[in-house]
Amino acid sequence: MQTTFRRLTLLGAILAAHGVAHAADRVVKVGFSSPLTGAQAAAGKDNERGLRMAIDELNQKGVTVGADTVRFEAQVEDDQADPKAGVTVAQKLVDAKVAAVFGPYNSGVAIPASKLYNDAGIVMATVGSNPKITLQGFANVYRVSASDSQLGGKMALYAAREMKLKRVALIDDRTAYGVGVAEEFAKVAKANGIEVVSRDFTNDKAVDFNAILTSIKGKKPDAIFYGGYFSQAAPMKRQMKSLGLDIPLMGGDAICDTEMGKLGGDAVNGSTYCTQGGGLLKTNSAETFVANYEKRNNAKPMFYAVSFYDAMKLVAAAMSKAGSTEPAKYGPMLAQMSYKGVAGTYEFDSNHDLKSSPVTIFQFKAGRPEPLANY
C-alpha cells in the first residue's frame, strides 16, 4: 500500500512537472461563432485558434470559480458570415446552455444573433464593429474591439491630415459592417474638408468591380474608401491597377490582414491603407502571445486572434471574481472590472463598448499591413 502511494505521489509530481492540466471539478462550456467556410474562413479559423489557445492555457493553469476548479470546453460553430446561419448557430448555442459566446465576427451576424443570446441570459463578446450592436441596450452584449465610429472616423482623419486628400469615392458591400464603417468615414471626411464624389454599392460575394471602378475613374478622386472585407477588397485593388486607377484604396479592419496581401499581390503594396482597433502590439505579453501562437499553429496570427484570446481570459477572470459561471452573476462583474489583456486594457462604458480603444493606421508593404501611426 505504501509503495502504491509513493508511486502515485511520484506520478503526480511528474505530471505537474510536465504541465499536465489540473483536474477539474466541473466543465464549463462556452460557444464560438465565426465563419469557418467561405471567403472569410481564414479570419474565422484565426479567431478559433485565439480562443482555443486561451482555453488551453486556462485549463493548464487551473481556474477556480467559487469552491470549484473548472475546465473550459468550446462548442465551435460555423456561422458562414451569414445572418440567417448566425441565428441558427445562436439557437444551437442557446440550447446547449453555454456560459458565454465569443463572436460573432461579422456585424451583420452579431446584430440579429445578439437578441437571442441576450434573451437567453448568455454573455456575448463580439468584435463586430457596427455601433448598432451595443446601442440595442442589451445587458449581456459586450464589444471587445473598436467600433465603426473609431475605425472609419480615424481613417478619415488620417486621410485628411496626413494624406492631404481632397476628393474620395466610397464603395460598400451592403453588410452591416461595410455600411457602418463607410458611413463613419464619410461623416468625418466631410467634417474635415474631404469631398465624397460618389457612393457605390456591391456585395460581399462579388468578384468583378470593373463597371464601378470605370465610373469612379471618370470622377477623378484622390482615393477610394471601401467598406467591406478583404475577400472583395483584394480583387478590387487588382482591378484598380489594371484599369490604371493609380490611387490609394482605404478600408477598415476587415481588409487589414495578411489575406489581403496574399489575394491582392503586388497591387496592394504601398497604396492600400487600413485601420485596426488597439495600439501597436509591442509589449512583452504581445510578443509572447505571437510566439506561442506561431509555435502552436505554424502561422502568424491575423488581427482578431488576440481579441478572442483576451475575451476568453477576461470572461474567466470575471467568473473567478464573481465566484460563479452564471452570466447573471458574472456579467455585472464584467461590466465594472478592469482587465489587462494582451491587446490592451478592457474596461466598458454604459453601452458595453470599450472606454479606450486607440486605432492604428496601417499601410501594406511586402504583402503585410505595417503600422504607420496611432490615432
Q: What's the rounded mean pLDDT across residues 228-248?
A: 97
pLDDT band at 338 (very low <50, low <70, confident <90, very high): very high
Q: Which residues contact 66 (CB under 8 A, 6 or more apart)?
A: 323, 324
pTM exceeds cut of 0.95: no
What's the pLDDT score for residue 19? 43
Q: At what angle do helices 107-119 and 83-95 cross, to 10 degrees?
A: 30
Q: Which residues contact 174 (CB under 8 A, 6 or more apart)?
A: 201, 202, 203, 204
pLDDT band at 171 (very low <50, low <70, confident <90, very high): very high
What's the pLDDT score for residue 12? 43
pLDDT band at 97 (very low <50, low <70, confident <90, very high): very high
Lowest mean pLDDT: which of 56-65, 87-96, 350-359? 350-359
Question: How does the average pLDDT of the chain come out, rounded?
Answer: 91
Question: How many residues are there in the chain?
Answer: 375
Give the residue carrying C-alpha cell 443570446.
Answer: 117
Q: Is 72 helix (H, G, I), strand (E, B) or coil?
A: strand
Q: What stretch of H or E contains 38?
A: none
Lowest mean pLDDT: which of 26-30, 164-168, 283-287, 360-364? 283-287
Distance CA 327, CA 67 (A): 17
What's the pLDDT score for residue 18? 42
Q: Cβ(72)–Cβ(51) under 8 Å?
A: no
What's the pLDDT score for residue 302? 83
Which tens digit of pLDDT belongs to each residue from 253-263? 999 988 899 99
Which tens digit of pLDDT belongs to each residue from 41-84? 999 999 999 999 999 999 999 999 999 999 999 999 999 999 99
166 pLDDT higher than 70: yes
What's the pLDDT score for residue 334? 96
Q: What's the rounded mean pLDDT across residues 133-158?
A: 94
